[in-house]
A = this chain, B = another copy of it.
Protein backbone atom coordinates (compact mmCIF):
# COMPACT_ATOMS: atom_id res chain seq x y z
CA UNK A 1 0.00 0.00 0.00
CA UNK A 2 1.08 3.56 -0.50
CA UNK A 3 1.18 6.43 1.91
CA UNK A 4 2.99 9.68 2.36
CA UNK A 5 3.71 12.50 4.72
CA UNK A 6 4.25 15.70 2.86
CA UNK A 7 5.79 18.89 4.06
CA UNK A 8 5.32 22.45 2.94
CA UNK A 9 7.42 22.91 -0.17
CA UNK A 10 8.97 26.14 1.04
CA UNK A 11 10.76 26.44 4.34
CA UNK A 12 8.02 28.38 6.07
CA UNK A 13 7.91 26.11 9.05
CA UNK A 14 10.22 26.52 11.98
CA UNK A 15 13.45 27.73 10.50
CA UNK A 16 12.44 30.89 8.70
CA UNK A 17 11.52 33.62 11.17
CA UNK A 18 7.86 34.08 10.40
CA UNK A 19 6.92 37.56 9.25
CA UNK A 20 5.44 39.34 12.25
CA UNK A 21 1.70 38.98 12.63
CA UNK A 22 -0.02 42.24 11.72
CA UNK A 23 -1.81 44.10 14.53
CA UNK A 24 -4.31 46.88 14.45
CA UNK A 25 -1.38 49.26 14.98
CA UNK A 26 0.09 48.09 11.68
CA UNK A 27 -3.20 48.69 9.98
CA UNK A 28 -3.37 52.16 11.53
CA UNK A 29 0.14 52.98 10.39
CA UNK A 30 -0.49 51.85 6.84
CA UNK A 31 -3.80 53.72 6.66
CA UNK A 32 -2.30 56.80 8.28
CA UNK A 33 -4.81 56.91 11.14
CA UNK A 34 -4.84 56.08 14.83
CA UNK A 35 -5.48 52.66 16.28
CA UNK A 36 -8.71 53.94 17.74
CA UNK A 37 -9.99 54.77 14.29
CA UNK A 38 -9.09 51.33 13.05
CA UNK A 39 -11.08 49.80 15.85
CA UNK A 40 -14.08 52.01 15.11
CA UNK A 41 -14.08 51.17 11.44
CA UNK A 42 -13.49 47.45 11.74
CA UNK A 43 -16.17 47.07 14.40
CA UNK A 44 -18.66 49.39 12.71
CA UNK A 45 -18.98 51.29 15.95
CA UNK A 46 -22.16 53.26 15.47
CA UNK A 47 -21.52 55.74 18.29
CA UNK A 48 -18.76 57.30 16.26
CA UNK A 49 -18.94 58.71 12.77
CA UNK A 50 -15.99 58.16 10.50
CA UNK A 51 -15.80 59.59 6.99
CA UNK A 52 -16.25 57.16 4.17
CA UNK A 53 -12.82 57.78 2.58
CA UNK A 54 -11.15 57.05 5.90
CA UNK A 55 -13.19 53.89 6.33
CA UNK A 56 -12.14 52.68 2.93
CA UNK A 57 -8.48 53.41 3.59
CA UNK A 58 -8.63 51.43 6.81
CA UNK A 59 -10.40 48.49 5.24
CA UNK A 60 -7.98 48.45 2.35
CA UNK A 61 -5.01 48.48 4.70
CA UNK A 62 -6.48 45.62 6.72
CA UNK A 63 -7.04 43.60 3.58
CA UNK A 64 -3.56 44.27 2.29
CA UNK A 65 -1.92 43.15 5.51
CA UNK A 66 -4.20 40.16 5.97
CA UNK A 67 -5.17 41.52 9.35
CA UNK A 68 -7.20 39.21 11.59
CA UNK A 69 -8.24 40.52 15.02
CA UNK A 70 -6.76 38.81 18.04
CA UNK A 71 -9.56 37.17 20.01
CA UNK A 72 -7.48 36.92 23.17
CA UNK A 73 -6.73 40.63 23.24
CA UNK A 74 -10.33 41.48 22.63
CA UNK A 75 -11.45 39.13 25.36
CA UNK A 76 -8.98 40.57 27.81
CA UNK A 77 -10.04 44.09 27.14
CA UNK A 78 -13.78 43.34 27.04
CA UNK A 79 -13.64 41.32 30.23
CA UNK A 80 -15.55 38.49 28.63
CA UNK A 81 -15.43 36.29 25.57
CA UNK A 82 -18.11 35.23 23.10
CA UNK A 83 -17.09 31.63 23.40
CA UNK A 84 -19.62 28.89 23.98
CA UNK A 85 -18.07 25.69 25.14
CA UNK A 86 -19.67 22.34 24.42
CA UNK A 87 -18.00 19.62 26.45
CA UNK A 88 -18.06 16.25 24.72
CA UNK A 89 -16.91 12.90 25.94
CA UNK A 90 -17.69 10.17 23.52
CA UNK A 91 -18.18 11.81 20.21
CA UNK A 92 -21.93 11.86 19.85
CA UNK A 93 -23.07 9.05 17.63
CA UNK A 94 -26.11 8.83 15.48
CA UNK A 95 -27.89 11.21 13.15
CA UNK A 96 -30.04 12.51 15.99
CA UNK A 97 -27.14 14.11 17.82
CA UNK A 98 -25.08 15.12 14.85
CA UNK A 99 -27.94 17.02 13.27
CA UNK A 100 -28.65 18.65 16.57
CA UNK A 101 -25.06 19.74 17.05
CA UNK A 102 -24.89 21.28 13.64
CA UNK A 103 -28.11 23.20 14.18
CA UNK A 104 -26.95 24.46 17.54
CA UNK A 105 -23.62 25.65 16.27
CA UNK A 106 -25.13 27.32 13.31
CA UNK A 107 -27.72 29.15 15.40
CA UNK A 108 -25.17 30.27 17.95
CA UNK A 109 -22.90 31.60 15.27
CA UNK A 110 -25.77 33.68 13.98
CA UNK A 111 -25.92 35.17 17.46
CA UNK A 112 -22.24 36.03 17.10
CA UNK A 113 -20.90 33.39 19.41
CA UNK A 114 -17.86 31.27 18.73
CA UNK A 115 -18.73 27.67 19.42
CA UNK A 116 -16.14 25.07 20.24
CA UNK A 117 -16.40 21.50 21.38
CA UNK A 118 -14.06 20.54 24.14
CA UNK A 119 -13.24 16.87 24.31
CA UNK A 120 -13.23 15.98 27.97
CA UNK A 121 -12.66 12.25 28.01
CA UNK A 122 -10.87 11.03 31.06
CA UNK A 123 -11.09 14.22 33.04
CA UNK A 124 -12.70 14.35 36.47
CA UNK A 125 -15.61 16.79 36.68
CA UNK A 126 -13.75 19.56 38.48
CA UNK A 127 -10.52 19.20 36.56
CA UNK A 128 -12.54 19.50 33.41
CA UNK A 129 -14.32 22.57 34.79
CA UNK A 130 -11.00 24.25 35.55
CA UNK A 131 -9.79 23.52 32.03
CA UNK A 132 -12.93 25.03 30.57
CA UNK A 133 -12.75 28.01 32.90
CA UNK A 134 -9.30 28.97 31.67
CA UNK A 135 -10.88 29.88 28.37
CA UNK A 136 -13.37 32.17 30.17
CA UNK A 137 -16.28 31.12 27.98
CA UNK A 138 -19.51 33.07 28.05
CA UNK A 139 -21.41 29.84 28.43
CA UNK A 140 -20.91 26.14 28.90
CA UNK A 141 -23.52 23.85 27.41
CA UNK A 142 -23.27 20.28 28.55
CA UNK A 143 -25.20 17.68 26.62
CA UNK A 144 -25.20 15.18 29.42
CA UNK A 145 -22.16 13.23 28.33
CA UNK A 146 -19.99 14.90 30.90
CA UNK A 147 -21.05 15.11 34.49
CA UNK A 148 -21.45 18.63 35.83
CA UNK A 149 -21.11 18.52 39.59
CA UNK A 150 -22.02 21.38 41.94
CA UNK A 151 -18.30 21.86 42.53
CA UNK A 152 -17.72 22.20 38.82
CA UNK A 153 -20.52 24.72 38.54
CA UNK A 154 -19.00 26.73 41.37
CA UNK A 155 -15.63 26.81 39.62
CA UNK A 156 -17.21 28.03 36.42
CA UNK A 157 -19.28 30.67 38.19
CA UNK A 158 -16.28 32.05 40.03
CA UNK A 159 -14.43 32.26 36.74
CA UNK A 160 -17.05 34.54 35.33
CA UNK A 161 -18.87 32.08 33.11
CA UNK A 162 -22.22 33.73 32.55
CA UNK A 163 -24.33 30.67 31.93
CA UNK A 164 -24.07 26.98 32.59
CA UNK A 165 -26.67 24.96 30.75
CA UNK A 166 -27.16 21.26 31.06
CA UNK A 167 -29.22 19.06 28.82
CA UNK A 168 -29.64 15.67 30.32
CA UNK A 169 -31.62 13.20 32.28
CA UNK A 170 -31.94 15.29 35.39
CA UNK A 171 -31.52 18.86 36.58
CA UNK A 172 -28.00 19.80 37.63
CA UNK A 173 -27.82 22.10 40.61
CA UNK A 174 -27.01 25.72 39.91
CA UNK A 175 -27.49 25.46 36.18
CA UNK A 176 -30.15 26.11 33.64
CA UNK A 177 -31.29 22.57 33.11
CA UNK A 178 -33.17 21.10 30.22
CA UNK A 179 -34.44 17.81 31.44
CA UNK A 180 -34.95 15.27 28.73
CA UNK A 181 -37.50 12.76 29.80
CA UNK A 182 -35.54 9.56 29.30
CA UNK A 183 -37.85 7.45 31.46
CA UNK A 184 -40.57 8.28 28.99
CA UNK A 185 -38.68 6.40 26.29
CA UNK A 186 -38.75 3.21 28.33
CA UNK A 187 -42.30 3.86 29.35
CA UNK A 188 -43.79 4.16 25.88
CA UNK A 189 -41.85 1.08 24.78
CA UNK A 190 -43.18 -0.97 27.70
CA UNK A 191 -46.70 0.37 27.31
CA UNK A 192 -46.71 -0.70 23.70
CA UNK A 193 -45.48 -4.18 24.52
CA UNK A 194 -48.05 -4.56 27.29
CA UNK A 195 -50.83 -3.30 25.05
CA UNK A 196 -50.00 -6.04 22.58
CA UNK A 197 -50.36 -8.68 25.25
CA UNK A 198 -46.81 -9.13 26.54
CA UNK A 199 -46.25 -9.72 30.23
CA UNK A 200 -42.60 -10.52 30.92
CA UNK A 201 -40.45 -7.78 29.46
CA UNK A 202 -36.69 -7.76 29.24
CA UNK A 203 -34.94 -4.38 29.14
CA UNK A 204 -31.43 -4.22 27.74
CA UNK A 205 -28.94 -2.32 29.89
CA UNK A 206 -25.75 -1.62 27.91
CA UNK A 207 -22.54 -2.48 29.66
CA UNK A 208 -20.62 0.19 27.79
CA UNK A 209 -19.56 3.03 30.09
CA UNK A 210 -21.11 6.42 29.58
CA UNK A 211 -24.51 5.07 28.65
CA UNK A 212 -25.63 4.68 32.25
CA UNK A 213 -27.08 8.16 32.30
CA UNK A 214 -29.59 7.08 29.68
CA UNK A 215 -30.12 3.41 30.31
CA UNK A 216 -31.00 3.71 34.00
CA UNK A 217 -33.84 6.16 33.48
CA UNK A 218 -35.16 4.20 30.50
CA UNK A 219 -35.23 1.08 32.63
CA UNK A 220 -37.05 2.96 35.38
CA UNK A 221 -39.65 4.18 32.92
CA UNK A 222 -40.27 0.67 31.69
CA UNK A 223 -40.60 -0.52 35.28
CA UNK A 224 -43.14 2.19 35.99
CA UNK A 225 -45.30 1.14 33.05
CA UNK A 226 -44.99 -2.52 33.96
CA UNK A 227 -45.98 -2.01 37.56
CA UNK A 228 -49.04 -0.07 36.55
CA UNK A 229 -50.14 -2.98 34.41
CA UNK A 230 -49.07 -5.85 36.59
CA UNK A 231 -46.36 -6.92 34.18
CA UNK A 232 -42.75 -7.83 34.97
CA UNK A 233 -39.50 -6.16 33.92
CA UNK A 234 -36.16 -7.96 33.83
CA UNK A 235 -32.92 -5.96 33.31
CA UNK A 236 -30.60 -7.56 30.74
CA UNK A 237 -26.96 -6.45 30.82
CA UNK A 238 -25.53 -6.58 27.30
CA UNK A 239 -22.24 -5.51 25.76
CA UNK A 240 -22.14 -4.31 22.18
CA UNK A 241 -20.44 -7.43 20.86
CA UNK A 242 -21.72 -10.45 19.03
CA UNK A 243 -20.47 -12.79 21.74
CA UNK A 244 -22.38 -11.00 24.45
CA UNK A 245 -25.57 -11.15 22.40
CA UNK A 246 -25.12 -14.84 21.66
CA UNK A 247 -24.58 -15.57 25.33
CA UNK A 248 -27.70 -13.68 26.28
CA UNK A 249 -29.75 -15.44 23.60
CA UNK A 250 -28.55 -18.79 24.90
CA UNK A 251 -30.12 -18.03 28.27
CA UNK A 252 -33.41 -17.04 26.66
CA UNK A 253 -35.45 -20.17 27.47
CA UNK A 254 -34.69 -19.93 31.16
CA UNK A 255 -35.47 -16.21 31.22
CA UNK A 256 -38.99 -16.88 30.00
CA UNK A 257 -39.47 -13.46 28.41
CA UNK A 258 -42.08 -12.68 25.80
CA UNK A 259 -40.79 -9.22 24.91
CA UNK A 260 -37.64 -7.11 25.05
CA UNK A 261 -36.89 -3.40 24.85
CA UNK A 262 -33.41 -3.16 23.36
CA UNK A 263 -32.35 0.21 24.82
CA UNK A 264 -31.82 1.52 21.28
CA UNK A 265 -31.96 0.23 17.73
CA UNK A 266 -28.36 -0.87 17.63
CA UNK A 267 -28.54 -3.05 20.70
CA UNK A 268 -31.97 -4.25 19.64
CA UNK A 269 -30.71 -5.28 16.21
CA UNK A 270 -27.77 -7.08 17.73
CA UNK A 271 -29.97 -8.99 20.14
CA UNK A 272 -32.70 -9.74 17.63
CA UNK A 273 -30.25 -11.38 15.29
CA UNK A 274 -28.82 -13.48 18.09
CA UNK A 275 -32.29 -14.54 19.16
CA UNK A 276 -33.21 -15.58 15.65
CA UNK A 277 -30.03 -17.56 15.29
CA UNK A 278 -30.88 -19.29 18.57
CA UNK A 279 -34.22 -20.36 17.17
CA UNK A 280 -36.39 -17.79 18.91
CA UNK A 281 -39.21 -16.55 16.70
CA UNK A 282 -39.57 -12.78 16.51
CA UNK A 283 -42.18 -11.54 17.12
CA UNK A 284 -43.95 -14.88 17.67
CA UNK A 285 -42.06 -16.03 20.76
CA UNK A 286 -40.58 -12.68 21.72
CA UNK A 287 -41.38 -9.17 20.60
CA UNK A 288 -38.43 -6.79 20.09
CA UNK A 289 -38.43 -3.00 20.08
CA UNK A 290 -35.57 -0.52 19.88
CA UNK A 291 -35.28 3.25 20.00
CA UNK A 292 -33.85 6.04 17.79
CA UNK A 293 -35.61 5.10 14.57
CA UNK A 294 -32.46 4.33 12.60
CA UNK A 295 -32.83 3.55 8.93
CA UNK A 296 -30.89 0.35 9.49
CA UNK A 297 -33.71 -1.02 11.63
CA UNK A 298 -35.82 -1.33 8.52
CA UNK A 299 -33.27 -3.51 6.81
CA UNK A 300 -33.65 -6.48 9.08
CA UNK A 301 -36.46 -9.00 8.79
CA UNK A 302 -38.74 -8.58 10.59
CA UNK A 303 -38.44 -4.82 10.39
CA UNK A 304 -37.57 -3.45 13.78
CA UNK A 305 -40.20 -1.57 15.77
CA UNK A 306 -38.75 1.44 17.50
CA UNK A 307 -39.32 4.45 19.72
CA UNK A 308 -38.89 7.65 17.77
CA UNK A 309 -37.35 10.46 19.79
CA UNK A 310 -37.75 14.13 18.90
CA UNK A 311 -35.02 16.24 20.40
CA UNK A 312 -35.29 19.94 21.15
CA UNK A 313 -34.24 21.98 18.15
CA UNK A 314 -30.78 23.48 18.08
CA UNK A 315 -32.12 26.94 17.32
CA UNK A 316 -34.25 26.95 20.44
CA UNK A 317 -31.42 25.90 22.65
CA UNK A 318 -29.28 28.61 21.07
CA UNK A 319 -31.88 31.21 22.03
CA UNK A 320 -31.94 29.91 25.57
CA UNK A 321 -28.16 30.10 25.76
CA UNK A 322 -28.24 33.69 24.61
CA UNK A 323 -30.92 34.58 27.16
CA UNK A 324 -28.98 32.89 29.91
CA UNK A 325 -25.83 34.79 29.00
CA UNK A 326 -27.75 38.05 29.01
CA UNK A 327 -29.42 37.16 32.27
CA UNK A 328 -32.83 37.35 30.65
CA UNK A 329 -33.63 33.67 30.72
CA UNK A 330 -36.88 32.80 32.40
CA UNK A 331 -38.82 29.67 33.08
CA UNK A 332 -41.80 30.68 31.00
CA UNK A 333 -42.44 29.26 27.57
CA UNK A 334 -41.96 25.74 28.78
CA UNK A 335 -42.49 23.30 26.01
CA UNK A 336 -41.79 19.71 25.20
CA UNK A 337 -38.08 19.09 24.99
CA UNK A 338 -38.22 15.46 24.15
CA UNK A 339 -41.14 13.70 22.61
CA UNK A 340 -41.28 9.93 22.39
CA UNK A 341 -43.62 7.83 20.33
CA UNK A 342 -43.67 4.24 19.22
CA UNK A 343 -43.31 3.29 15.58
CA UNK A 344 -44.72 -0.18 15.17
CA UNK A 345 -43.18 -2.24 12.41
CA UNK A 346 -42.89 -6.01 12.33
CA UNK A 347 -40.79 -7.06 15.29
CA UNK A 348 -43.45 -6.40 17.92
Contacts and interface: CB of A to CB of B under 8 A. Distances in A.
Given A71-B135, A177-B6, A101 B105 contact: no
A228 interface: no
B6 A331 contact: yes
B299 A269 contact: yes
Number of copies: 2
Given A158-B22, A327-B15, A270 B242 contact: no
A266 to B, nearest CB: 7
Interface in A80-103: 81, 88, 90-93, 95, 97-98, 101-102
A270 B10 CA distance: 47
A68 B114 contact: no
Contacts of A73: 72, 76
A267 B72 CA distance: 44
Which of A174, A298, A336 has the most B CB atoms < 10 Å from its CB? A174
A334 B4 contact: yes
A104 to B, nearest CB: 9
Interface string A323-348: 01011111101111111100000000
Interface string A46-79: 0000000000000000000110111111011000
Q: Which 5 A-B residue pairings sit nearest by Cβ, starting from the closest? A: A14-B327, A91-B98, A105-B119, A117-B117, A116-B116
Interface of A: 1-10, 12-15, 18-19, 21-22, 65-66, 68-73, 75-76, 81, 88, 90-93, 95, 97-98, 101-102, 105-106, 114-119, 121-122, 130-131, 133-136, 154-155, 157-160, 162-163, 171, 173-181, 184, 240-242, 266, 269-270, 272-273, 295-296, 298-300, 320, 324, 326-331, 333-340
13 contacts: A1-B340, A3-B335, A4-B171, A5-B178, A6-B177, A7-B329, A7-B330, A14-B329, A21-B159, A21-B160, A65-B158, A68-B158, A93-B98
